[in-house]
């Protein structure tokens, strides 16, 4: 079929590589913009303008703590991009002095399917995680008498740092910050970061999880836990807002005594997450109040007289949206590094 005279010819897009330094430079100082982008992407997802199949977990019999996850996704609307995040988590890396997680993001052209960019994505992943956490902290505390003034970080790695950075950049301030980690060195390192950032009047490293939780009205779980290790619901009697970013810290009984918000029901109730274990225990999903988008649109109410737990699986569409934003910004500034002739065999018969 011959294309219309006014239709541009279909061509193979050039392939570009965007390294971590460019990604970080592009996203730096854009915290408000990224939170807005994440909320807009959640809206597109809720309206059916996305494809976000289940993540695929590659695990290893000889390395039981390690995993690599594939997150394929597609966004419609004005974004119009497909792609895949490929992210590894190797906790033993920390002892070797290198980051636990590493990732790349592949962006595919909407019309031809050709990949047109490969981006370093551990920064994009941390950014989208922090943005969705901050959005939840805002939305879930809006109808409370007072905004949280005491935040506690359980787990003190890169994700915790990014969440704190996003909280600070979007107008949050705290009278007290609590810190707890099973690694004393990690807790001390995060404490030093907070001091250098002049993050709060008082910063306390807590020896026990109970101390941290009971003294915080906003609790951030950013650990590498593979199964629940917090089991006492009484620690949450003061009804904090809980950002359960690492998904597997809380026993099902704690969730059953709380208001539960997720980012996507089907994704969160898989892979032995705490919400998945709660579903297995009860045989139903009645313990879920709704999604963060439901709260944003007023379809789900968040009471003050219970703890509220946000458990986000982390959707691949968020990585795609932020990755496409980075690509567009780097292109706009004329700094895109194109790999010439990356796709070589382009003639059907040679």
pLDDT tens for residues 259-276?
999 999 999 999 999 999
The answer to the question of residue 349 being in a domain is no
Tell me the C-alpha to C-alpha distance, in Å, between residue 62 and each of 12, 68, 99, 264.
41, 14, 20, 32
One domain for residues 168 and 287: yes
Is residue 4 over pLDDT 80?
Answer: no
| Average per-residue pLDDT for the chain | 95
pLDDT at 8: 75
DSSP label at residue 181? -
Question: What percentage of the chain carries pLDDT values higher than 90?
Answer: 90
Split at pLDDT 50, 70, 90, the class of 310 is: very high
DSSP label at residue 230? B
pLDDT tens for residues 200-250?
789 999 999 999 999 999 999 999 999 999 999 999 999 999 999 999 999
Taking residues 80-108, what's their average pLDDT?
A: 95
For tokens 């950014």, name the residue.
127
The answer to the question of residue 213 being in a domain is yes
One domain for residues 159 and 285: yes
The answer to the question of residue 345 being in a domain is no
Is residue 1 over pLDDT 60?
Answer: no
pLDDT tens for residues 28-61?
999 999 999 999 999 999 999 999 999 999 999 9
One domain for residues 219 and 78: no
Cα four-point dihedral sign 268, 271, 274, 279: positive
Q: What are phi and psi for residue 302, nearest 5 degrees?
A: -115, 105
**Rounded Cα distance, 64 and 251, in Å:** 22
Q: What is the CATH number of the domain that holds 268?
A: 3.40.50.720
The answer to the question of residue 253 being in a domain is yes
pLDDT tens for residues 177-198?
999 999 999 999 999 999 999 8
One domain for residues 201 and 75: no
One domain for residues 300 and 177: yes
Split at pLDDT 50, 70, 90, the class of 128 is: very high
**Rounded Cα distance, 339 and 350, in Å:** 22
One domain for residues 229 and 293: yes
The answer to the question of residue 209 being in a domain is yes
Tell me the C-alpha to C-alpha distance, in Å, between residue 107 and each of 49, 199, 271, 310.
17, 36, 26, 29
One domain for residues 64 and 118: yes
One domain for residues 295 and 321: no
Number of domains observed in the structure of the chain:
2
Split at pLDDT 50, 70, 90, the class of 2 is: low
One domain for residues 57 and 106: yes
132 Cβ contact partners less than 8 Å away, ≥ 6 residues apart: 38, 42, 263, 292, 312, 314, 318
Residue 43: CB atoms within 10 A of its CB come to: 14
One domain for residues 119 and 236: no
The answer to the question of residue 9 being in a domain is no
Least confident of 5-14, 114-123, 277-286: 5-14
Q: What is the CATH number of the domain that holds 38?
A: 3.30.1780.10
One domain for residues 287 and 321: no
Tell me the C-alpha to C-alpha distance, in Å, between residue 73 and each of 81, 107, 176, 215, 282.
9, 10, 39, 39, 31
**Rounded Cα distance, 290 and 296, in Å:** 11
pLDDT at 347: 86
Runs of H (alpha helix) within the chain: 20-27, 31-46, 122-141, 158-169, 184-196, 209-214, 252-256, 265-268, 274-282, 292-297, 316-332
Split at pLDDT 50, 70, 90, the class of 199 is: confident
Strand (E) or helix (H) holding 150: strand 150-154
pLDDT at 5: 59
pLDDT at 6: 65
**Rounded Cα distance, 32 and 305, in Å:** 30
One domain for residues 165 and 194: yes
DSSP label at residue 250? B
With beta carbons less than 8 A apart as the criterion, state whether 219 and 212 touch. yes
Is residue 9 over pLDDT 90?
Answer: no
pLDDT at 3: 54
Q: Which of 94, 262, 230 is nearest to 154 (CA)?
A: 230
Tell me the C-alpha to C-alpha distance, in Å, between residue 108 and each of 211, 220, 324, 339.
47, 34, 10, 15
With beta carbons less than 8 A apart as the criterion, state whether 103 and 135 touch. no
The answer to the question of residue 49 being in a domain is yes
The answer to the question of residue 7 being in a domain is no
Question: Domain of 107?
Answer: 15-124+316-339
């Amino acid at each position: 079929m011959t294309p219309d005279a006014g239709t541009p010819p279909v061509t193979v897009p050039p392939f570009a590589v965007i390294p971590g330094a460019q990604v970080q430079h592009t996203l730096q100082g854009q915290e408000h913009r990224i939170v807005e982008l994440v909320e807009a992407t959640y809206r597109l997802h809720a309206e059916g303008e996305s494809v976000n199949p289940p993540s695929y977990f590659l695990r290893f019999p000889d390395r039981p703590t390690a995993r690599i996850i594939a997150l394929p996704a597609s966004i419609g609307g004005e974004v119009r991009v497909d792609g895949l995040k490929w992210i590894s988590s190797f906790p033993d890396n920390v002892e070797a002095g290198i980051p636990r997680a590493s990732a790349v993001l592949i962006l595919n052209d909407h019309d031809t399917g050709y990949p047109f960019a490969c981006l370093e994505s551990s920064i994009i992943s941390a950014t989208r995680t922090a943005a969705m956490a901050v959005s939840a902290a805002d939305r879930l505390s809006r109808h409370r008498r007072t905004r949280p003034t005491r935040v506690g970080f359980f787990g003190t790695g890169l994700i915790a740092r990014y969440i704190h950075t996003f909280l600070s950049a979007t107008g949050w301030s705290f009278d007290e910050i609590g810190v707890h980690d099973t690694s004393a060195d990690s807790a001390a390192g995060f404490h030093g970061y907070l001091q250098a950032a002049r993050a709060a009047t008082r910063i306390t490293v807590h020896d026990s999880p109970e101390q941290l939780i009971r003294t915080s009205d906003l609790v951030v779980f950013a650990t590498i836990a593979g199964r629940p290790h917090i089991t006492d619901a009484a620690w949450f009697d003061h009804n904090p807002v809980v950002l359960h970013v690492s998904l597997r810290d809380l026993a099902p009984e704690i969730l059953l005594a709380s208001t539960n918000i997720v980012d996507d029901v089907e994704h969160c109730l898989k892979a032995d997450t705490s919400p998945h274990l709660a579903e297995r225990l009860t045989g139903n999903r009645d313990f879920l109040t709704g999604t963060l988008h439901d709260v944003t649109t007023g379809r789900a109410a968040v009471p003050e007289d219970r703890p509220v737990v946000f458990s986000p699986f982390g959707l691949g569409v968020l990585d795609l949206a932020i990755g496409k934003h980075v690509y567009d910004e780097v292109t706009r500034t004329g700094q895109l590094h194109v790999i010439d002739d990356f796709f070589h065999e382009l003639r059907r018969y040679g």
